[in-house]
Amino acid sequence: MVLERDLEEVAAKQDDLPDVGDVYDEDEEIAIADVFDREFVTERTDFESFDELVAKSPSEAGSGVELETIPHGEWDEFVAEQTDFDTEEAFVLAARDHWVAKQLDLA
């Protein structure tokens, strides 16, 4: 898996990266399950899916689509305890970079 810190370095070494428009349509919403896919979640947490991770969090949320119902402080603490990341922000950015790397065939 390409980590956040190497994404730019790996991309810079590629001669044939696709155009942004071929990878992502800015009018298209990206599903949270696509960003936090099974590969990312199983490698970086003790859970099998993002929905399972969210369902086990200290909230009423039962799936990733209900993520916004989790109070920020509780989610940050939960992420630090249940993932390879210290903060929600680090977790989200790493998932984003994982998604980008897959779209660019770098992962």
Handedness of CA 98, 105, 18, 12 (dihedral sign): positive
pLDDT digits (tens, 9 = 90+) for 18-69: 555 555 556 778 888 899 999 999 999 999 999 999 888 888 888 887 777 7
pLDDT at 83: 95
Q: What angle do CA 32, 36, 41 make, to 5 degrees?
A: 150
pLDDT at 76: 86
Asked if 26 contacts 43 with a C-beta cutoff of 8 angstroms, the reply is no
Of the candidates 79, 80, 58, which has an alpha carbon nearest to the alpha carbon of residue 69? 58
Give Rg (Cα) of the chain: 15
pLDDT digits (tens, 9 = 90+) for 96-107: 889 888 887 776
Map 63-106 to HEC letters: CHHHHHHCCHHHHHHHHHHHECCCCHHHHHHHHHHHHHHHHCCC
Tell me the range of 7-21, 37-51, 68-82 where mean pLDDT is highest.
37-51
pLDDT at 42: 96
Asked if 95 contacts 75 with a C-beta cutoff of 8 angstroms, the reply is no
CB proximity list for 45: less than 8 A, separation 6 or greater: 53, 82, 83, 84
pLDDT at 36: 94
pLDDT at 73: 76
